Structure 1
Amino acid sequence: MTHHEHPDAALIRRGYEAFSAGDTETLAAMMTSDCTHHVPGESLISGHYKGRDNVLGGYYAKLAELTGGTFRVELKGVFVDGRGHAITAHRFHADRGDRGIEMDGGLFFTLVGDKISDIDECVADIVEADSFWGQGA
């Protein structure tokens, strides 16, 4: 069987590769200026990061800072509907202080004009994720 990857799936794969490489320039080019990343739970990282600069310089920078650069993600799959939506499944790993976390999660993307406009994040265990990241103010 031949596998033909949809352009939306290819875009999301490139985004995961850029994220893993710390390539914020490529990520910025892939997002709309008003892109929003929604992070579940009630932790230090939870909330709605509105605007490309806030997603990159706020949320993604906070992930790196809180984990001393140990945060990494392993993409398991990308699923698209051909109408501007993509869902991913991944496993993320990080260390923070004397704790570590390894958990399944996923992202739901909305794409507009071949750019990411919205990202909704889901995790396998919100309570455990909140415990790892620490409680927000």
Structure 2
Amino acid sequence: MSEHPDCALVRRGYVAFSEGDMETLSSLMTADAVYHVPGDSTVSGHHKGREAILGLFRTFGEETGGTMQVQVEAVLADGRGHVMSFHTVRGDRGDRGIEMREGLFFTITGGKVTDIDACVEDIDEMDAFWR
């Protein structure tokens, strides 16, 4: 059984994120893509545009001293340009650590990511980690 192309695109993004490969990540999204992060912290909000999203990813790496890791659990497609992914994120920031399940809802148009909505297992814990 072959993987749906939209799922393969998202998986390539996870690999690039894990490797810190911003060039590949950049190539997977449109210039006007938007990443929506829930909560009320320094990383929450609507990150509009490819450069803003890449800046957010750089912040993740810098603020965690490179300790942030993402373990993919599932990637699911609806065949109409939407992909849901589920993963566990782990990282350390100062004297605080986090390990939490998260989900991302992707909108894909023309083989590129245009929108990402993040959902987290515990918004309060995520906010405390990033404050």
1:42 aligns with 2:40: yes
* Structure 2 length-normalised TM: 0.98
User: How far, CA to CA, are the matches of 2:48 and 2:114 in structure 1?
Assistant: 10
The amino acid across from 1:90 in the alignment is H
Secondary structure at the counterpart of residue 13 of structure 2: helix
Listed one character per residue, the Cα deviations across residues 61-102 of structure 1 (whole Å, up to 9, x for unaligned) are 111121111111010000000000000000000100111000
User: How far, CA to CA, are the matches of 1:54 and 1:94 in structure 2?
Assistant: 21
1:4 shift after superposition: 2.1
User: How far, CA to CA, are the matches of 1:53 and 1:123 in structure 2?
Assistant: 23
User: How far, CA to CA, are the matches of 2:25 and 2:129 in structure 1?
Assistant: 26
Deviating runs (4+, > 2 A) in structure 1? none
Superposition RMSD in Å: 0.7
User: Percent identity between the aligned chains?
Assistant: 56
Secondary structure at the counterpart of residue 62 of structure 1: helix
Correspondence for 1:117: 114
Correspondence for 2:3: 5
| Residue ranges of structure 1 left out of the alignment (5+ in a row) | none
| Residue ranges of structure 2 left out of the alignment (5+ in a row) | none
Correspondence for 1:107: 104
Secondary structure at the counterpart of residue 110 of structure 1: strand
* Structure 1 length-normalised TM: 0.94
Listed one character per residue, the Cα deviations across residues 9-40 of structure 1 (whole Å, up to 9, x for unaligned) are 11111110000000000010010000110000
Correspondence for 2:15: 17
The amino acid across from 2:124 in the alignment is V
User: How far, CA to CA, are the matches of 2:69 and 2:35 in structure 1?
Assistant: 17
Count of matched residue positions in the alignment of Structure 1 and Structure 2: 131
The counterpart of 2:58, out of the listed 58, 61, 70, is 61
Secondary structure at the counterpart of residue 82 of structure 1: coil
User: How far, CA to CA, are the matches of 1:66 and 1:18 in structure 2?
Assistant: 19
